[in-house]
């Protein structure tokens, strides 16, 4: 059941047919220092030659469906036994469901805590996607086609083995896009899930900067935005509870002021957008708790 749910959920991450891509520009960087048994997080050669970059369509997950400002939480580079549990605790406290883009070698780590962390993600109703095996730049020419393909395939295999879930959601390291990436994803029927908001806590590791950036952007947003953070960073662990507290207080203020609330969109809600409203309501009532809702949705899919 869960396999079918994830396959439907990914349709929402596919750019809208009429979405117009922004003018191509260098893609935001992601951390090069994530924990890595193979040393994949080591700094790369300066100014490596790359395939020509292209931009991803925006907004990353399409327009708002409710008319409210809508926010989707996503986290990259884990799971990390030192930090990911704290991120899960913060999300659980505020009943928020996110999408975690794992690195294959992290999911396949021999650390005995990893299976419990992955199991908790699934139990708590989070969606899991792939972020390659070792986090390389897939558009870098020095990374040959064979290695680039292996990064995608090996990463997916490692994460699917850890989660027992098919992974049609995918995110490239550094958010890169080029003709090679497009071809590799198309050949595998994978859909890229980009982002709109990046507090760059992976770079400065300053929770105050991350908090200030996110809350400033959320205060003025009007459409649907995908937020990128990293569950391996202490800045994320420290900033996330404050961001979630701010959201709660801001929505309380907006309720009094009769303003549109900031609506947090979960992975299973993205899937629900593809089903008839009446069926979604019936399945929601049938599920005893939110942890059962993804399976309930999946049971109704063809």
Tell me which residue of 72, 106, 69 sits closest to 91, measured CA to CA.
Answer: 72
Residue 57: alpha-carbon gap to chain centroid:
16
SS (H, E, C) 199-225: CCHHHHCCHHHHHHHHHHHHHHCCCEE
Is residue 76 among the annotated active site residues? yes
Tell me which residue of 102, 179, 107 sits closest to 148, measured CA to CA.
Answer: 179
Long-range contacts of 7-11 (CB under 8 A, 24+ apart): 7/166, 7/168, 7/301, 8/271, 8/274, 8/275, 8/297, 8/298, 8/301, 9/127, 9/169, 9/267, 9/268, 9/270, 9/271, 10/168, 10/169, 10/191, 10/193, 11/191, 11/271, 11/274
Tell me which residue of 138, 70, 82, 79 sits closest to 106, measured CA to CA.
Answer: 79
Q: Which of 194, 198, 230, 231 is catalytic?
A: 230
Strand-pairing partners, residue 71, are: 225, 264
| Distance in angstroms (rounded) separating the CA atoms of residues 27 and 38 | 25
Nearest 5°: phi and psi at 131? Answer: -130, 35
Residues with catalytic roles: 76, 230
């Amino acid at each position: 059941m869960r396999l079918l749910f994830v396959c439907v959920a990914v349709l929402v991450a596919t750019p809208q047919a009429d979405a117009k891509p922004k003018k191509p520009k260098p893609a935001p960087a992601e951390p090069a220092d994530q924990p890595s048994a193979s040393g994949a997080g080591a700094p790369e050669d300066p100014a490596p030659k790359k395939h020509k970059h292209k931009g991803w369509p925006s907004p990353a997950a399409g327009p708002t469906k409710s008319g409210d400002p809508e926010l989707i939480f996503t986290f990259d580079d884990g799971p990390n036994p030192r930090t990911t549990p704290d991120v899960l605790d913060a999300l659980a406290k505020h009943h928020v469901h996110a999408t975690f883009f794992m690195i294959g070698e992290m999911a396949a780590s021999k650390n005995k805590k990893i299976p419990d962390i992955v199991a908790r993600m699934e139990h708590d109703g989070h969606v899991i996607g792939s972020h390659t095996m070792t986090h390389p730049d897939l558009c870098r020419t020095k990374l040959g086609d064979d290695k680039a393909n292996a990064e995608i395939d090996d990463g997916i295999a490692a994460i699917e083995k850890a989660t027992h879930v098919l992974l049609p959601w995918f995110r490239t390291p550094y958010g890169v896009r080029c003709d090679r990436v497009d071809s590799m994803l198309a050949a595998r029927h994978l859909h890229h899930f980009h982002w709109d908001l990046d507090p760059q806590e992976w770079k400065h590791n300053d929770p105050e900067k991350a908090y200030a950036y996110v809350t400033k952007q959320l205060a003025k947003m009007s459409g649907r935005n995908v937020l990128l953070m990293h569950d391996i960073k202490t800045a994320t662990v420290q900033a996330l509870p404050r961001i979630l507290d701010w959201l709660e207080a801001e929505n309380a203020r907006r309720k009094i002021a009769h303003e549109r609330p900031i609506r947090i969109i979960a992975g299973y809600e993205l899937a629900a957008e593809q089903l008839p409203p009446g069926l979604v309501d019936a399945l929601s009532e049938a599920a005893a708790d939110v942890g059962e809702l993804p399976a309930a949705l999946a049971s109704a899919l063809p």
